[in-house]
Amino acid sequence: MSRSPAGRLAIRACLRLLSSPQQQNPPAAARWLSSSTGSPLSIRGGLFGSMAPAASASAAVALPPGFDGHYQAAASAGAPPPAAPAAAASSDASMARLRALARPIDRYLALRDLLAADPRAYYSLLLTHTEEILPFVYTPTVGDACLQYHRLPIKTWGLYLTLDDRGRVLEKLRSLPQQDVHAVVMTDGERILGLGDLGANGMGISEGKIALYTVAAGLDPASCLPLCIDVGTNNASLLEDPQYKGLRRRRPARAEFDSFMAEVMGALAAWRPHVMVQFEDFGNSNAFRLLDSYRHTMCAFNDDIQGTAGITLAGLLSAARATGRPLIDHRILFLGAGEAGTGIGELVARYLHLRHGVTVEEGRARCFYLDSKGLVCASRRPSLQHHKLPFAHDADYCADLRTAVQQLRPTALIGVSTIGGAFKEGILRLMAEINDRPIVFPLSNPTSQAECTFEQALEWTGGRVLFASGSPFSPARDAAGALRQPAQANNVYIFPALGAAAIETRAAALPDEAFVVAAEELAGMTTLDDVNAGRLFPPFSSIRAVSARVSARVAEFMVGRGLGAAPPGVRAGAARGEWAEYFSSRMWGAEAPMRSKL
């Protein structure tokens, strides 16, 4: 996109101001500039020309009454100036302006500006250019956004519940402008991607996940609530940062945390009895305990544990087809033994039990883990965390990954360690010596924490790798010069579709088998030619059609098991194709009316 020299200088000046942590609320005169074409430009990246004064009356982000003052101030700091000029920009023009921004974080801010000003235009753009825009809405850019969240001049459009709200959580929920809520994405910010404890800045994760529910499964944005549980942070740099907006205290002891979470979960159930709750980026110790506490009494799941497990199982099923060997004949070595890694192992074991008739214990015996202290094995049982004990097999202890690969001779190597570059050249070359088609999944997010790149995996395995990553990578050429496309094991293939199925069937709970059937349906959408070429998942350009099929399979399972009921639009005993048509017909589009303010 060409601009005059003056226009380019104006944009650079804006972006320099944007990048300054001190420039929280610049004067209105500094916020709006005229380009060489006369288009309004927002310092916060609102380049779409749609931030009109009228938007504040009908489409502006509304904060619920009862928000603490410091959150209100943070939100109002990002409000557009009252006299912002209006212009209706086409999708193509909007994309051209978005592409003119060099830094991913600037694109993230531009998109948030559009969402604040005109939610319909935002979702229209996102649905039209999903593959291009999604990396700026969620991973990898959302990681950078969360690191800077307290400094960014943006409106928070989710709900914060803090320890100061004890005794009035239900009151705050009932004061929200949006009451017809079906899905809640909840985090306490303790383990944001691979970035650690970001406290109240974790709201960016909940907001990003909510957008994916609309993009992938067609949930009405007004029916989805981003929620951040602010109980403090143990991140000293945030506590010392004068711009940090969260509670300025360290995280509470377990009893205090559990008591507050009991109030939150009880209030959600009282407020919306059939609400679906997605736990997101809780620390390991709390993640497993919360899931165990609420998964059988509410429609609740943990995406880091179960959603990641579902997409990884789908990738393994596709990769196993390419090797010509069923998954039961594979041996999987994980680098990292946190909630994501052991969640994958548990779902693999459940799949092998359900489909191959082995016990769950026999299924677990095919999964091995290396944590920061070496191989998880029987000799370490006395010192292991509870979630690692089922995988403490009778094996010789070793301290490093290369020795573990030599000793165990795995067919699949999965990275959930958040240690960038951990899959060294020697390790991947060894995997290629052991296997004709080595399976290598560096799943850690964001991209900087990935255990290897796609290009490295191709080069070091002689192009024979079956690859899937957590964050997106660019295509790369193999040794023969052929351009290869990497697969991305993106949870968005699983959790929105599964959530839609749970909501439409009013599911009382979500058992592990629901994630197994979702993974099977997803893997079944790829052909043998696809998987042989390394395309382990269906094309993301078809995400809504994919989600409709996954939702149909899960809903059929839930109703068949008596865990949910068919909605009025689906007849008893409906075939899976009818279910898929139902879910497709229920998907919200940008042309649909917004039922309430965001």
Reference 580, options 508, 521, 512, 494; nearest CA is 521
Beta bridge partners of 367: 332
| Nearest Cα residue to 194 out of 341, 317, 298 | 341
Identity of the residue numbered 275? V
Residue type, 121: A
Query: Residue 380, class by beta-carbon neighbours within 10 Å (0-12 exposed, 13-18 middle, 19+ buried)?
Result: middle
d(CA 504, CA 582): 10
**512 marked as part of a ligand binding site:** no
Spatial distance between the Cα atoms of 275 and 296, rounded to a whole number of angstroms: 14
Query: Residue 275, Cα to own-chain centre: how many angstroms?
Result: 19
Determine the Cα–Cα distance for residues 425 and 433; give it in Å rounded to an integer: 12
**DSSP secondary structure letter of residue 77:** T
Q: How far apart are CA 8 and CA 24, in angstroms?
A: 23
Say if residue 230 carries a ligand binding annotation.
Answer: no
Catalytic residue from among 71, 123, 138, 351: 138
Residue 231 contacts residue 188 (beta carbons within 8 Å): yes
Element (H, E) at 368: strand 367-371
Which amino acid is it at 573? G
Amino acid (one-letter) located at 382: P
Q: Which two tokens stand for residue 457?
A: 């995996």
From residue 528, how far is each of 151, 215, 379, 493, 583 by CA, in Å?
48, 28, 42, 19, 27
Q: Are 409 and 382 in contact (CB under 8 A)?
A: no
Q: Which residues contact 435 (CB under 8 A, 6 or more apart)?
A: 323, 411, 464
Q: Is 254 annotated as a binding residue?
A: no
418 is written with which tokens? 């958040």
DSSP-derived secondary structure letter, 138: S
| Residue 268, burial from CB neighbour count under 10 angstroms (0-12, 13-18, 19+) | buried
424 carries an active-site annotation: no
Contact 439, 466 (CB under 8 A): yes
Say whether 435 counts as a known binding-site residue.
Answer: no
For 460-574, list the strands marked E by DSSP: 466-469, 476-477, 483-484, 487-488
Q: What is the per-residue DSSP string for 204-246?
A: HHHHHHHHHHHHHH---GGGEEEEEEE-----HHHHT-TT--S
CA distance 179 to 134: 27
Is there a contact between 461 and 431 (Cβ–Cβ < 8 Å)? yes
478 is in an annotated binding site: no
Q: Is 284 labelled a binding residue?
A: no
Instruction: Give SS3 for 42.
Output: strand
> Which of the following is catalytic: 123, 155, 172, 209?
209
Residue type (1 letter), 528: L
Determine contact, residues 369/337, Cβ cutoff 8 Å.
Answer: yes
**Residue 160 annotated to the active site:** no
Among all residues, which ones are annotated catalytic?
138, 209
The annotated binding site for a divalent metal cation is made up of 280-281, 304
The annotated binding site for (S)-malate is made up of 191, 445, 490
